[in-house]
Chain A
């Protein structure tokens, strides 16, 4: 079952390259749906039976194994998010296929395979391979589809993340050499990492954290992100923003915190201060943006900053909040990008001051825009609220002298997020009507309706997610 999550998108991805464009999009959507079904089955199996393992020897001389395992609720959430994102993207943009759509869909499927691998791997070498592999198709996607400056911007993104990954590789090597039996298994890494003296852990921490921080991105490693989000095709931005940035947070939870706990404790203040600085800084920048994609990009940096800060608060509750917020943020930001995509495909602009008055002709669009935006600000009864509340709780209870300051500044970020999000709604939906804006078509309505239902349902029933992540809370942190 686990291998299917990787194999289906991988095989279909390779196949899709060679199919004619019309069939390619159908095959891709079908493949996405099958993957989603498999992920759903995995979820139900997991909630009944607990963990699932696939462990085969891979490179015996090195002690590397092909080890996939689902053992925490967080993994399930990430797998479902990944499985959900791709069919929705395909569906929402169904009526307007990109150029050479077979190539586009093939690369998307390969990306999905890589992402699934990242969330499933329990072997450090395998994890690293998937971590990099998810990047290659995305590099091609971003460079082929998007705005005028896409090639240079994507390249910056690629070099940034690749440099980070290589630092991660050197850390993996160092820990690997210190494992008791020369193995890449997560458990052996945990044993080896903890046995190292603090001085070495401190260095290794930054080698690993830099890679993850670039991916998230946390201030000051974020400079690739607004440009990349702005320039790439919105369909690809959804993947980057809803799923790929979660790789960074996920890796911190699964690979950094258990392996180097003392160093995490040692550096937590630095990381939290950086994250909170990022929240305030990104929120203020978001307020002055005139491009809607850049605005959402900066808002995303602010949200990720809060998650990172809560993660390093080392509070159980805060970390649970991060786990569910990773999923909810994925849903919300996906919704926002889809709306941006609809605006873009109708008006051919990303500039906020060229939009306006959409509400008069497109009531459904406006309803969804308001709902998703409110979820993004984390208003109560939307899915964003619970996670954010719990994260603040964790941050406020952090074992650090700066906790008051951190909480206050992070709270400032929430207020600012209301400011820029509401301004955005106002500029897009209200004011002088400049265009005849067509309301949602069938596919768009289905997708947005689904997301809206999820937002409200999870807002009313947060315990579904809370139960899932707290089941194995100790398994993934201890």
Chain B
């Protein structure tokens, strides 16, 4: 688990570097180099993964799946930094600290992928959320950013309380924090279940549902994602959310499968609500950024299928979904952040002015809506496949595909603005050749995942 340590240390190094490095460009380059270093560390971890490696008094375990997950998410974060480094640095004065916070979040992501102990789960979630509160409010002079930060903090603190309560109840019922131990896992079977454990499970569902913005615990999401500086929203909506999903699935699939009937109905209701609210509300948005916030709720609805279906396919699915959803969101946000006007009309005529940027955005949007030949198609495909294999609540599948058809409406509105409407888009900055190259690479990866999804698992 070198990655955890390196990520935490690089956060510290980055903060100190802010004192030494005067030029913003040097800070940015240092951040990219450090991200590459962390990526190297995760690859090294993956290479050296063996059977039954545990660390920190058996509180964190390393296996092939979790190491691979770290590699993928770090690669996504690296691409994120490459695309957005200029914008991150220009959010406010403390450019080095924003990067430092992102590295701290990565440290939390690694803890979440490896935890075997509920305390580590709690710690991981706190490590990824507290920097996010700061990032959300980093545009200090903007009231919307302040509002986002405060709202996120209050709501987040509340859900953390629920999480702690859930962990406590589970500990009370089983007498163990270790989700792999016999005492813990053996407790969750039909004959051993008691109301204490059940209440614990339900509280965990609510608390984790809160963090992944599943309805009806989604109310914080649109305001927070909308108010947060656009440079940070894609990171919060994708990489962080996916890692919480990973933790969510890990807990429920490794321990609670025996008593699935007791919580799967709750998740099924959450899926229906999340898809419905996310998609329908996204249709009515005027601002593309807010639309993307609601669409991220809708996408979470799809990812909840992986929690719902307790089989191996859902593990593959969450890896693929996480990567393709992250890359596609990065592609759309990369175009959004260049524009002055965040409404749909702001995109008018982008295809004429910047054909390459419009093309990469289109590929990303097609992937988000799940059109074949993009990674998004196979991502949705695996989620639905996992559910069909599970064999319960098959109506959910039909419901989900109809909701995916609705999502086409708002994603394609952006494409229509870019290609079929006349206009002169006002830009903050013009994309340079390097950025366009990275975005093209990003689009190429999305298409590659749409042809050969086995690349990620």
Contacts and interface: CB of A to CB of B under 8 A. Distances in A.
A434 to B, nearest CB: 34
A167 B398 contact: yes
B370 to A, nearest CB: 8
Contacts of A133: 372-373
Interface stretch (A168-176, A255-263, A392-400): A168-176
A231 to B, nearest CB: 13
A166 B397 CA distance: 10
A136 B373 CA distance: 11
B412 interface: yes
Contacts of B158: none
A169 B397 CA distance: 10
A61 B454 contact: yes
A59 B456 CA distance: 12
Contact of B384 (A59, A136, A140, A170): A170
B385 A60 contact: no
28 contacts: A59-B452, A59-B453, A128-B372, A129-B377, A132-B371, A132-B372, A144-B419, A158-B412, A159-B408, A163-B401, A163-B402, A163-B405, A166-B402, A166-B405, A167-B398, A167-B401, A167-B402, A169-B381, A170-B384, A170-B388, A170-B398, A170-B401, A173-B381, A173-B385, A173-B388, A177-B385, A177-B389, A207-B398
Given A174-B388, A177-B385, A162 B419 contact: no
Contacts of A61: 316, 454, 457
A169 B384 contact: yes
Contacts of B420: 143-144, 151
B366 A136 contact: yes
B416 interface: yes
A129 B378 CA distance: 11
A151 B416 CA distance: 8
Contact residues on A (Cβ < 8 Å of other chain), bracket: 20 to 34
Contacts of B388: 170, 173-174, 176-177
Contacts of B416: 143, 151, 155
B408 A162 contact: yes
A60 B408 contact: no
B205 interface: no
Contacts of B377: 129, 132
A180 to B, nearest CB: 15
B43 to A, nearest CB: 23
A315 to B, nearest CB: 33
Contacts of A159: 405, 408-409
Nearest to A150: B420
B366 A140 contact: no
Contacts of B316: 61
A184 to B, nearest CB: 12
A159 B279 CA distance: 14
Which 7 pairs, one residue from A and one from B, show the smallest C-beta to C-beta distance?
A: A166-B401, A163-B405, A129-B372, A132-B372, A173-B388, A170-B397, A177-B388
B394 interface: yes
Contacts of A129: 372-373, 377
A102 to B, nearest CB: 12
B404 interface: yes
A151 B418 CA distance: 12
Interface in B429-457: 452-454, 457
Given A151-B420, A169-B381, A176-B385, 6 more contacts: A143-B420, A166-B401, A166-B402, A167-B401, A167-B402, A173-B384
Contacts of A174: 388, 394, 397
Interface string A309-331: 00000000000000000000000
A136 B369 CA distance: 12
Interface string B367-401: 00001110001000100110011000010011001
Interface in A39-82: 59-61
Nearest to A168: B401
Contacts of A132: 371-373, 377
Given A143-B420, A155-B416, A177-B388, A136 B402 contact: no
B178 to A, nearest CB: 32
B221 to A, nearest CB: 25
Given A61-B454, A170-B397, A173-B385, A140 B372 contact: no
Contacts of B372: 128-129, 132-133
A162 B384 CA distance: 17
Nearest to A167: B401
Interface in B315-348: 316
Interface string A340-382: 0000000000000000000000000000000000000000000
B397 A162 contact: no
A133 B447 CA distance: 13
Nearest to B401: A166
Contact of A155 (B373, B385, B412, B419): B412
Nearest to B359: A17
A338 to B, nearest CB: 26
Interface in A142-161: 143-144, 151, 155, 158-159
Contacts of A170: 384, 388, 397-398, 401
